[in-house]
Amino acid sequence: MLEVLDVGSNKFNGTFPCLLKNMCSLRVLVLRDNTFYGNISCPRTNIKWTKLQIFDVASNSFSGTLPNRALNAWKAMMGDGNENLDPLKISITRLCQLYYQEEIIVTIDGLEIDFVKFPTFRAIDVSHNRFEGLITETFGQLNALSVLNLLRNAFVGQIPSALGNISNLESLDLSDNELTGEIPQQLTNLTYLSFLNLSNNMLVVRIPTGNQFATFSEDAFAGIVVWPLMFWNRCRIWYCKRIDRVTVKIFPQLGERIRI
């Protein structure tokens, strides 16, 4: 059974691989950093990825809208059936390249390393594409999602208040789109939110108050609005440092080469 398909950072081109639609065991799909193009909808078909945990199509030329029908089928991102998901075993040779590596059971030089959080980790990354239209309210049903990255597309309209229902969300990046209106007060419900980037939109700069938003300083909010690259780099550094700290604990000899 195919659980992981990672063809990231190659020179593949063509349209979205709808031939995978019946791979009901698929849990990780990584197509990032290629030259795929076109719509990611699969007409007249039902994608059966009920166990999908990571959907990463960043840095391609995909376009069109995000298909609600597909999102509704991703039951694992709704928190359904977590207890039935076995740990994954993946051979990783590049540390700190993919932000979700820390959350996976990896095998390095024959040593199995258990990152126990992976069974609960969910991520959607469609950044650096040409997606357009409204951000769908369906995201609000994916309450097990940890990372949602819609950076650098052509999404329009208001930020859906339904995003405040994604109770496990830790990282939200909606920057470099064409969003308008106010930042929804409902985003203050995201008590696990550690990283937020809403920069380079046309939002009314009215910062919500309360809960997790109260932990950000005024400078942090100014950075979100004005200096997106600074904030994004902080996010990447945070992920990489978490991975490096765990690696050094397992392989102390690497500590001399990795400065934490």
Tell me the pLDDT tens digit for each residue of 77-134. 997 545 566 665 554 333 234 444 444 443 444 444 444 455 667 899 999 999 999 9
Q: List CB contacts of 125: < 8 A, sequence separation 6 or more.
A: 32, 55, 56, 57, 58, 147, 149
Q: List CB contacts of 34: < 8 A, sequence separation 6 or more.
A: 7, 8, 9, 10, 11, 12, 13, 59, 60
**High-pLDDT (> 70) share of the chain, %:** 63
Q: Taking the model in full, what pTM does it have? A: 0.75
Q: How confident is the model at residue 30 (pLDDT cuts 50, 70, 90)?
A: very high
Does pLDDT of 39 surpass 50?
Answer: yes
Interval 166-176: pLDDT, tens: 999 988 999 99
Q: With residue 83 as reference, give the H or E element that holds it.
A: none
Which domains are assigned to the chain?
A: 4-256 (3.80.10.10)
